[in-house]
Amino acid sequence: MNYTEGNPITLQGVQTQEVARTFISKVFLWMSGALILTAITSFLIAANFDTFLPYLFNVTDGGAKPSFLYWIAIFAPFIMVFVMSAAVNRLSLSALSIMYILYSLLMGVSFSFIFLAYDLGTIGITFAVTAGTFSVMAVMGFTTKTDLTKFGSILLMALFGIIIAMLVNIFMKSGTMDYIISILGVLIFTGLTAYDVQKLKRFSTQIGEFNNTAGKMALMGALTLYLDFVNLFLFLLRIFGRKN
């Protein structure tokens, strides 16, 4: 096909597709990079836990108590997600990128305890299952012609429901409820993966050019998919994980 000045609509369509591809590729690059950082950090800390132990716990004759750095590592990622989401328009792309990388590293500190609690082979298998499930649902969300908006709204409401159920189960300590919550969590984040990918695809087609704003939206989209992947992994691990 000949793209000439006499065919501006076609040329504009091609440019839009290129911008959309750039946006989606940035999303998955940021997401993949964050997962790699988290995985490497968690593995290194777990493999050298004796070195990091004095920084994360105050060890005494009476046992080990979490240190201030431990609580920072646990709660800081939640705070950072809130700050990034609330201040995305005010933060520069550079500042947002630094926070995103720091968030990935802190998540690695939190995830290091998984290597201590679960069998390494089980973690590997669960990660592979998660990656396969995530990939299938991401492709489905990207290619399906079905509007998943209403479906996504239902899943988000269900997510709030299982969060409340998890809080209640902290006091009830019911193994059966924990198992049901885990199954529902897998179903919810499996569906949310397709929903979020479709939403990002639609957004990508509305971008006129890939500027700083689009760059920030790509990073936040990566954060959303990162959270989908991580939560899917954690719920699968709760179901199939064999503890040490």
Boundaries of every domain in the chain: 8-240
Average pLDDT over residues 19-43: 94
User: Would you place residue 127 in the very low, low, confident or very high pLDDT band (cuts 50, 70, 90)?
Assistant: very high
Tell me what the mean pLDDT of segment 113-122 comes to.
86
pLDDT of residue 243: 60
**Contacts of residue 133, Cβ cutoff 8 Å, sequence gap at least 6:** 190, 193, 232, 236
Q: What's the confidence (pLDDT) of residue 96?
A: 95
The dihedrals phi and psi of 242, each to the nearest 5 degrees, come to -105, 115
pLDDT the model gives residue 4? 40
Phi, then psi, of 68 in degrees rounded to 5: -60, -40
Which positions ≥6 away from 239 have C-beta within 8 Å?
179, 182, 183, 186
Check: CB of residue 88 under 8 Å from CB of residue 218: no
What average pLDDT does the segment 216-239 reach?
A: 95
Query: What residues are paired with 66 via a beta bridge?
Result: 57
On whether the CB atoms of residues 133 and 232 are closer than 8 A, the answer is: yes
44 conformational bin, left if phi > 0, alpha if psi -120 to 50, beta if neither? alpha
**What does the alpha-carbon distance between residue 138 and residue 129 come to, in Å, rounded to a whole number?**
14
Confidence (pLDDT) at 15: 60
Confidence of residue 11 (pLDDT cuts 50, 70, 90): very low
- Which pLDDT tens digit goes with each residue over 80-116? 999 999 999 999 999 999 999 999 999 999 898 888 8
In this prediction, residue 13 carries a pLDDT of 54
Distances (CA, A) of 39 to 46, 70, 114: 11, 18, 11
